[in-house]
Amino acid sequence: MTDNSPFLIVGLGNPGREYRDNRHNIGFMLADRLAVRLNLRLNRMQSKALVGSVVYDSRKLLLAKPQTFMNLSGQAVQGLVRFYKLPLENFLLVYDDLDLPFDTIRLRPDGGSAGQKGVASTIQRLGTQAFPRLRLGIGRPPGRMDPADYVLQDFPQTDLTLLSEFLDRAADAALMFVSEGLDATMNKFNGAGNGE
As annotated, the active-site residues are 24
d(CA 150, CA 138) in angstroms, rounded, equals 10
Q: List the one residue out of 84, 69, 68 whose CA is nearest residue 9.
A: 84
Q: List the one residue out of 28, 15, 26 whose CA is nearest residue 103.
A: 26
d(CA 2, CA 185) in angstroms, rounded, equals 17
Q: How far is CA 91 from the centre of its chain?
A: 10
Q: List the one residue out of 31, 32, 47, 136 whose CA is nearest residue 86.
A: 47
Q: Provide the β-strand partners of residue 7.
A: 61
Report DSSP letters for 5-67, one per residue: --EEEEE----SGGGTTBGGGHHHHHHHHHHHHTT----EEETTEEEEEEEETTEEEEEEEE-
